[in-house]
Amino acid sequence: MFTWIVIIAIVLGILFLLDREIYKYEGIHIGSRLQAFLYDRWAEKYDHGKQAGQLQDVEMLARPLLEKLSAIPAPFVLDVATGTGRLPFALLSQPDFKGSIIAIDISHGMLERAAKKLEPHREHVRLMQYDAFPLPFPDETFDVVCCMEALELIGEKQAAVKELARVLRPGGTLLTSRGTEESGRGIVVISAEALTELLHNAGLEDVQITPWWRVFNRVFAHKPGTLMPAGLRKVGEVLVCPSCGGVGTFTELNSSLTCKACNKSIKLDADGILNYR
């Protein structure tokens, strides 16, 4: 009888920890594969649960970012952990945004939702499924790098922030967020002071943390230097080949990108999602 009590207690303990890991920490302690699986499962209802924040996306994200980019005719933007494409959608819905966006996420299910949402703007955005860091782009590629509602779900936060800064051009803008203490995420919450230090350690300056909605702050940071805009670029011009390491060696034909140096092929699915995994 005692043995069965112990077994039941162990099983209940494992189930409790698993439930806590999945629904409180979204799989960050297990790995990106589990996170991708979970977000695939949540994708259909994800936007419904984010309505409170999305109602402010234009006012609090797109418009302030465009004000910072007013001198750049066609900004080249990277959106890391794009989810259902809410930030690209907010930017592309603004008539004065004339740039191009590469939006990446670990979840194919989330990217499928993004593809539907962004269909009218398809020529200005490329969706890409990619696991995590390091990012498959060379140094100083993008005028703007965004990573919203994701830093608290990344294990190696300093490495992640340095990677975001690495692909940002001198004079460029980083837009990210900070989960607040009201989010209920406990140990994954980053204090404003700690996040500022992470950004400074990555070589960024002028950190501005602003209330956004109840569970998140908006965060802007600047990379020192004078911005020489990247101009309109296509993903094949900046993507690092996973096989030979070449940069800008891809040509797009039919449903794939093919590296001219080594013939590595990366598939594009029917939704236009590039599978770099």
Q: In the prediction, which pLDDT does 20 show? A: 44
Please check whether residues 68 and 189 belong to one and the same domain.
yes
Average pLDDT, the chain: 85
Please check whether residues 82 and 11 belong to one and the same domain.
no
Q: Does pLDDT of 156 surpass 50?
A: yes
Please check whether residues 149 and 270 belong to one and the same domain.
no
Q: Does pLDDT of 102 surpass 70?
A: yes
What phi and psi values does residue 195 have, to the nearest 5 degrees?
Answer: -65, -40
Please check whether residues 178 and 66 belong to one and the same domain.
yes
Question: Could you write out the DSSP letters of every residue in 97-122?
Answer: ---EEEEEES-HHHHHHHHHHHGGGG
Please check whether residues 82 and 190 belong to one and the same domain.
yes
Whether 239 contacts 136, CB under 8 Å: yes
Residue 228, domain member (yes or no):
no
Q: Helices 32-49 and 108-118, interaxial angle, to 10°?
A: 40
Instruction: Summarize the confidence of residues 50-58 as an average pLDDT.
Output: 73
Q: Does pLDDT of 26 surpass 60?
A: no
For the chain, first and last CA: distance in Å?
49
Secondary structure of 120-156 as H, E, C letters: HHHHHEEEEECCCCCCCCCCCCEEEEEECCCHHHCCC
Distance CA 160, CA 138 (A): 15
Summarised one tens digit per residue, pLDDT across range 193-240 is 999 999 999 999 999 999 988 888 999 999 999 999 999 899 999 999
Q: In the prediction, which pLDDT does 186 show? A: 57
90/2: higher pLDDT: 90
Please check whether residues 139 and 123 belong to one and the same domain.
yes
Residue 140, domain member (yes or no):
yes
Exposure of 257 by Cβ count < 10 A (0-12 exposed, 13-18 middle, 19+ buried)? Answer: buried
Q: In the prediction, which pLDDT does 15 show? A: 39
Please check whether residues 88 and 163 belong to one and the same domain.
yes
Q: Helices 192-201 and 157-166, interaxial angle, to 10°?
A: 50
How are strands ordered across the β-sheet holding 142-147? 205-213, 216-222, 168-179, 142-147, 76-80, 100-105, 125-129, 273-275
Distance CA 124, CA 260 (A): 24
Out of 29-38, 99-108, 131-140, 161-170, pick the least confident.
Answer: 29-38
Please check whether residues 102 and 179 belong to one and the same domain.
yes
Q: Identify any residues that bridge with 221 across adjacent strands, giving them in sequence order.
A: 174
Share of the chain above pLDDT 70, in %: 80
Residue 227, domain member (yes or no):
no
Summarised one tens digit per residue, pLDDT across range 135-145 is 999 999 999 99
Instruction: Summarize the confidence of residues 87-95 as an average pLDDT.
Output: 95
Q: Domain limits at 165? A: 51-222
Instruction: Summarize the confidence of residues 150-178 as an average pLDDT.
Output: 93
Instruction: Summarize the confidence of residues 7-31 as an average pLDDT.
Output: 48
Q: In the prediction, which pLDDT does 187 show? A: 59
At a CB cut-off of 8 Å and minimum separation 6, what does 130 contact? 104, 105, 106, 136, 276, 277
Q: In the prediction, which pLDDT does 177 show? A: 93
Number of domains in the chain: 3
Q: In the prediction, which pLDDT does 165 show? A: 98
The predicted model scores a pTM of 0.86
Distance CA 81, CA 85 (A): 9
Longest dimension (CA), the chain: 74
Q: Tell me, what CATH number does 128's domain have?
A: 3.40.50.150
Please check whether residues 247 and 218 belong to one and the same domain.
no
Please check whether residues 170 and 147 belong to one and the same domain.
yes
Please check whether residues 37 and 168 belong to one and the same domain.
no
Tell me which H or E stretch contains 90.
helix 86-92
Summarised one tens digit per residue, pLDDT across range 177-194 is 998 887 665 557 889 999
